[in-house]
């Protein structure tokens, strides 16, 4: 940290003149020739049907389109799907907007929509999107501009699923079949406002798609550049080499705010940092419910927020988001910090102090994830539990004690987060490689949320989901985080959609300041 501050101090002094030169760059033009975005992570795979994570989602929104969309007021609106109508409780008919073309000039039609959803229903990819469409049975082509979604049961949230950015981005059938799934991952084609013209692990270059069906965005070209080191991202922003950066460390926010020509903006994200516990590891104390309860009660979440995030994260009351509206349970207590009760539970569990509990994570993948892990190890040591953090590039739910993870809300319902991540079909619930077996009570509550249209029944079910999660403990939550961006003056960037962890650069999102 001392080295980082020293580097920044030197850069701050040397960059003063550079800042003065670049301050008015955007203000002098109505359009942006090249927007340079420095990101802490770039993914290797840009096939939106194969899987979606917090790194890939930042890029997908600019390349692809979905049929429906959730607007900034939380309403489901049309996108590629011009209109939609329920023919019965299990059949939704969608009319496709005419004149939509893919980046290779081919017209988007019903064949592409059916192809996209066939991939998902048939289990293509890592399963993250298949779970989102758990109630979808098939998609039928009616004519070139019409499709019908056939559900396997009535689903009160199906329009929300279609309108999720984490949902099904439509891909071109002919092109994917021509080049193959593997080639498509690094040479993607969508129907969004930007097309990819250059791919490398270090940089993606997108150009504005002039035949885009909607309003043209302000930037002619976007360069997404991989800059893993926070100090390098901040230096690039200060010197004008980068226009927007993400993941500014919280202890550098005030220093960055003091730089002329730079704005620092934080936005709450629909994401909770969590740990998934391996309850199926029979030869480990992790299979003991009282021991897992002790681990959750020994975590001082408010201390983590205060020391690592300051005001840029929130200590939450349960695995839920306030954006759930009527389904948000204000008076749910959540897991309380109680180290004395935790010590008692450790004793009752029979833990002998010899087994070392390992928290496995990717080094630096989550903001402050490394530091949180080390702090939690100390908290567990204080109740007599030996623990350590181990870093790995690849790992599963079944090959470790605890997996550092995150719970992104795919849409505003418990079905879009807690149920989706821990319900049947999810990674933790996988019969062979998972870390827990969902209880009957958990499954019943999730099914009620799908089936019922009665808000009181849904609210009771939402509470049961959280109670089972906090009692049986297949995992635990740490806090709801914020993304902190640095932006050069001259840009007006609406950060609303960044709550979904995307970097949105469509016409309604980014403008040149007047």
Distance of alpha carbon 406 from alpha carbon 178, whole angstroms: 35
What is the number of alpha carbons within 13 Å of residue 213 lying toward its C-beta?
22
pLDDT at 370 over 50: yes
pTM of this structure: 0.88
Q: For the segment 149-180, what is each residue's pLDDT rounded down to a tens digit?
A: 999 999 999 999 999 988 899 999 999 999 99
- 101 secondary structure, DSSP code: B
pLDDT > 70: percent of the chain: 94
Helix residue ranges per DSSP H, 258-318: 289-297, 301-304
Contact predicate 32/219, CB 8 Å: yes
Distance of alpha carbon 247 from alpha carbon 256, whole angstroms: 12
pLDDT > 90: percent of the chain: 79
Q: For the segment 182-218, what is each residue's pLDDT rounded down to a tens digit?
A: 999 999 999 999 999 999 989 999 999 999 999 999 9
> What is the average pLDDT across 18-37?
68
**The predicted structure's pLDDT at residue 74:** 86
Going by C-beta distance under 8 Å and a sequence separation of 6 or more, which residues neighbour residue 384? 343, 346, 351, 353
Q: For residue 173, give both structure tokens.
A: 């059938």
Could you tell me which of 371, 360, 259 has the C-alpha nearest to residue 307?
371
Q: What residue spans in the chain does CATH classification 3.40.190.10 cover?
A: 32-218+489-512
Mean pLDDT score of the chain: 92
Q: What residue spans in the chain does CATH classification 3.10.105.10 cover?
A: 270-481
pLDDT at 263 over 70: yes
For residue 484, CA distances in Å to 129, 227, 253, 306, 432 come to 27, 15, 8, 16, 38
CATH hierarchy code of domain 270-481 = 3.10.105.10
> 32-218+489-512 is classed in which CATH architecture?
3-Layer(aba) Sandwich (3.40)
**The predicted structure's pLDDT at residue 26:** 59
């Amino acid at each position: 940290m001392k080295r980082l501050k020293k580097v920044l101090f030197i850069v701050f002094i040397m960059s003063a003149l550079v800042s003065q030169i670049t301050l008015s760059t955007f203000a002098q033009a109505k359009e942006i020739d090249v927007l340079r975005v420095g990101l802490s992570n770039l993914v290797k795979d840009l096939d939106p049907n194969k899987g979606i994570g917090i790194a890939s989602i930042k890029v997908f929104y600019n390349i692809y389109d979905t049929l429906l969309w959730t607007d900034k007021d939380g309403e489901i609106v049309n996108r590629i799907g011009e209109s939609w109508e329920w023919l019965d409780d299990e059949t939704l008919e969608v009319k496709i907007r005419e004149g939509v073309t893919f980046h290779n000039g081919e017209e988007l039609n019903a064949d592409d929509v059916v192809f996209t959803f066939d991939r998902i229903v048939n289990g293509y990819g890592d399963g993250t999107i298949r779970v989102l469409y758990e109630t979808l049975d098939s998609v039928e082509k009616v004519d070139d501009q019409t499709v019908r979604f056939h559900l396997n049961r009535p689903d009160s949230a199906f329009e929300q699923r279609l309108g999720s950015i984490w949902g099904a981005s439509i891909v071109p059938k002919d092109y994917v079949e021509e080049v193959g799934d593997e080639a498509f991952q690094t040479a993607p084609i969508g129907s969004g406002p930007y097309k990819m013209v250059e791919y490398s692990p270090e940089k993606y270059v997108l150009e504005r798609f002039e035949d885009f069906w909607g309003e043209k965005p302000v930037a002619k070209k976007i360069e997404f550049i991989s800059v893993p080191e926070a100090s390098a991202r901040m230096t690039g922003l200060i010197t004008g080499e980068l226009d927007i950066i993400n993941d500014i460390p919280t202890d550098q926010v005030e220093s960055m705010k003091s730089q002329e020509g730079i704005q620092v903006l934080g936005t709450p994200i629909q994401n909770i940092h969590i740990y998934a516990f391996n309850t199926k590891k029979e030869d480990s104390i992790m299979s003991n419910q009282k021991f897992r309860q002790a681990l959750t009660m020994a975590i001082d979440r408010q201390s983590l927020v205060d020391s690592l995030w300051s005001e840029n994260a929130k200590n939450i009351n349960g695995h839920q988001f306030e954006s759930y509206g009527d389904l948000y349970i204000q008076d749910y207590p959540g897991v309380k910090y109680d180290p004395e009760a935790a010590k008692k539970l450790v004793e009752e569990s029979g833990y002998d102090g010899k087994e070392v509990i390992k928290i496995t994570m990717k080094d630096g993948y989550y903001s402050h994830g490394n530091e949180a892990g080390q702090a939690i190890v100390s908290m567990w040591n204080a109740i007599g539990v030996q623990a350590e953090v181990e870093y790995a590039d690849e790992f599963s739910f079944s090959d470790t004690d605890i997996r550092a993870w995150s719970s992104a809300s795919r849409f505003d319902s418990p079905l879009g987060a807690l149920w989706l991540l821990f319900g049947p079909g999810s990674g933790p619930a996988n019969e062979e490689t998972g870390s827990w077996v969902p209880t009957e009570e958990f499954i019943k509550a999730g099914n009620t949320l799908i089936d019922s249209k009665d808000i009181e029944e849904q609210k009771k079910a939402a509470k049961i989901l959280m109670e089972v999660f906090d009692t049986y403990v297949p995992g635990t939550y740490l806090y709801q985080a914020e993304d902190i961006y640095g932006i050069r003056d001259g840009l007006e960037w609406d950060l609303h959609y960044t709550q979904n962890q995307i970097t949105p650069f469509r016409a309604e999102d980014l403008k040149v300041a007047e």
